[in-house]
Amino acid sequence: MTETKRIQDICRYIETHSDDNLTLDDLAAKAGMSKFHFVRRFKSIVGVSPKQYALNVRLGQLKDKLKSGQGVDAAIYDAGYGSSSRVYENAARQLGMTPAQYRRAGEGVSISYATLDTPAGLMMIGATDRGVCFAQLGDSEDELLGRLRSEYRNAEIEPMREPNHPEFARWVAAIERYISGRQPSPQLPLDVRATAFQMRVWKYLQSIPYGDVQSYGEVAAGIGEPRAARAVASACAANPAAIVIPCHRVIRQTGDLGGYRWGMERKRALLDHERALRMTRGKSRRM
């Protein structure tokens, strides 16, 4: 059995035993590796540490249980959290609100939003005082605002007011710098759920240099799964965070652009924008 398959099996094990007290020693032993080698290979293949993967699994389960209407305390313990205080300290930061508020679709929560122009159209960012809870591309502010209100139908939602919340302003500025090629992938506290395979693909996409492209097959080979080009395409189609996870940089082997969740014109616009900036900067450095 390859190391990739063993790590994938450990991911499945974490997903089905998230309420257990999982330790690195136990997981490494189950994978048949030393602890040091296991951690290094897990992060290389999955894109995050075993601990972070387990936290992501628990958070996803908590969200599902809260959305289903389950009581907060029951949802917390059923999702494998040992104490409610830990949830309110950590999970709330990723939810953008407390678990109880999330369960009530944002009731009692104030969400500020701002839009910014990108080469692919409007992008809307929504945030509470805890963190970013929404980031999407769309054709108009009304369309994006409709999506935001659908996700948090009971929240108080209003445009970002002056003076700007300092963290919110920083997040918006980070995305603007990223779009202009002046900053690597912005470290936003986005709530992104994924399978182990999707996480590997999305992590790899963030390593593709600004203005470059790779084929679905090249991405598959890059993550150690050379026969998984179609699965890579599916992972790109499921990307929840346009631009931040740059799936627009993946094209077909023939050179055709392939698909794009937010439309082919947006994909072409983003690639043309990045290539033009890279070419301009290349000329400036040679002068």
Task: Name the CA dihedral angle for 44, 48, 49, 51, rounded to a multiple of 10 degrees.
Answer: -160
Q: Using DSSP bridges, classify how beta strands 156-159 and 110-118 pair: parallel, antiparallel or unpaired.
A: parallel
Is the separation of the CB atoms in 260 and 248 below 8 Å?
Answer: yes
Burial 181-211 (b: 16+ CB within 10 A, else e): beeebbebbbbbebbbbbbbbbbbbeebebb
Show Cβ contacts of residue 55 under 8 Å, excluding neighbours closer than 6 positions: 90
133 catalytic residue (yes or no): no
Residues 6+ apart with CB under 8 A from 120: 137, 242, 243, 248, 262, 266, 267, 269, 270
Q: Starting from the edge strand earliest in sequence, which strands make up the sheet with 110-118, in order?
A: 132-138, 121-127, 110-118, 156-159
Which of 11, 133, 236, 247 is flagged as catalytic?
247
Neighbours of 82 (CB within 10 A): 11
Helix axes 3-16, 24-31, angle to 10 degrees: 140
CB contact at 8 A, 91 and 99:
yes
The answer to whether the Cα torsion of 251, 257, 259, 262 is positive or negative is positive
**Beta-bridge mates of residue 111:** 157
User: Which uninterrupted H or E stretch holds 159?
Assistant: strand 156-159
Q: Which residues are catalytic?
A: 247
